[in-house]
Structure 1
């Protein structure tokens, strides 16, 4: 009777070892998946921040050209012009979020411009249960929209001499903005009213 029990125990021991090994593998796999998901979320956050930062810097850069267009009565032409994406700002925000900017480009469009940024995280998944994960890094992409939300301004020529003294912008958020081309307000004080910046789906 005792000999048979020892034999049963000896047969069960390899099964026990296999079960423990299987559970350990599952635990490592779940950990690897969780780490990959966390890295992916981190990279997406970096891409979002980089795209927004580049779009906000682009909006800041619009100031001189916008005011020059008001003075020259060529606002429509200015809003339709291509623009340079400030990708150095995208790289700065990506780096601050432990990622590298890999691609950054603008997509100009009348009243609605876009900047798209692609990033790659700096940390690999590096899991022993996922082959090739030593060099596998999370990638993400984000697009920010720069929308001009005060179209069709009213030009006021009070003296009737052909010189526009005032532009009155009625914006989509209901705000009314008055800008005198000859003495425009600081761009920082009006840029957020004129141009909305937000993330959009690619």
Structure 2
């Protein structure tokens, strides 16, 4: 009887080993899935940051090379519609932000949109799944520049010239202030004779967001 029990235990031992091995492999595979998810999350974070950086660079340089004193109403309308936005330096900024997140980026500028594809420099790492040490995280993101303001309609022309020039000049050779109507009912007045930071003006006129 003792011999029969020992024989049964001897037959069960290989099955036990196989079962434990299977459970361990499943546990390690679950860990690899978690590592892959983390790598994918790192890639998506890098892609989002790079796309936003590219769009913000283009937005911040909206007035690059322009003289506010010479801008006409038609010029302002083109600026607000995004027709004057340029992508110069935007994709380089995307590359910089991707590198800061230990990744490389491929940037596609199609103003007002910037699409960035990112590949992480790091991989999932060695694991029980063959080839995982060569798998990099990949992700894509798109950022878009949107106007927040429009030109405020001016008053109807008066049949007789006003003796008092409008704020910000308006006299001979001096352009009047430009008035904007922005989202949320916010009014914005810009004096071309005292422009201040044109980058800050661009940030008030345009917003940047991630797009689907």
Higher relative contact order (CA 8 A, sep 6+): 2
**2:59–2:85 contact (8 Å) kept in structure 1:** no
TM superposition shift of 1:55: 1.4
- CA–CA distance in 1 between the matches of 2:150 and 2:70? 13
Indicate how the Cα distance of structure 1 residues 132 and 70 shifts in structure 2: closer, same or farther if over 3 A, else same: farther
Give the match for residue 87 of structure 2. Answer: 84
Give the match for residue 187 of structure 1. Answer: 198
Indicate how the Cα distance of structure 1 residues 145 and 65 shifts in structure 2: closer, same or farther if over 3 A, else same: farther
TM superposition shift of 1:153: 3.6
Give the match for residue 107 of structure 1. Answer: 110
Secondary structure of 2:210 counterpart: strand
Give the match for residue 129 of structure 1. Answer: 128
> Structure 1-normalised TM-score?
0.85
Which range moved further: 126-135 or 146-155?
126-135
**2:69–2:175 contact (8 Å) kept in structure 1:** no
Q: Which runs of 5+ in 1 are unaligned?
A: none
- CA–CA distance in 2 between the matches of 1:24 and 1:81? 60
Secondary structure of 2:63 counterpart: helix
Mapped pair 1:143 → 2:142 = yes
* 1:94-142 Cα deviation digits (max 9, x unpaired): 11112111x212222xxxx211111011111234333332211110111
- CA–CA distance in 1 between the matches of 2:193 and 2:202? 17
Number of residue pairs aligned between Structure 1 and Structure 2: 196
Q: Which runs of 5+ in 2 are unaligned?
A: 156-164
- CA–CA distance in 1 between the matches of 2:200 and 2:173? 28
Secondary structure of 1:183 counterpart: coil
Give the match for residue 197 of structure 1. Answer: 208
Mapped pair 1:24 → 2:24 = yes
- CA–CA distance in 2 between the matches of 1:41 and 1:152? 41
Secondary structure of 1:62 counterpart: coil
Give the superposed CA RMSD: 2.5
- CA–CA distance in 2 between the matches of 1:36 and 1:114? 29
Which range moved further: 142-151 or 157-166?
157-166
TM superposition shift of 1:149: 0.9
> Structure 2-normalised TM-score?
0.82
Give the match for residue 117 of structure 1. Answer: 116
Q: Please say which structure displays the higher CA radius of gyration.
A: 2
* 1:5-43 Cα deviation digits (max 9, x unpaired): 110011011001101110111011101100000000111
- CA–CA distance in 2 between the matches of 1:100 and 1:139? 10
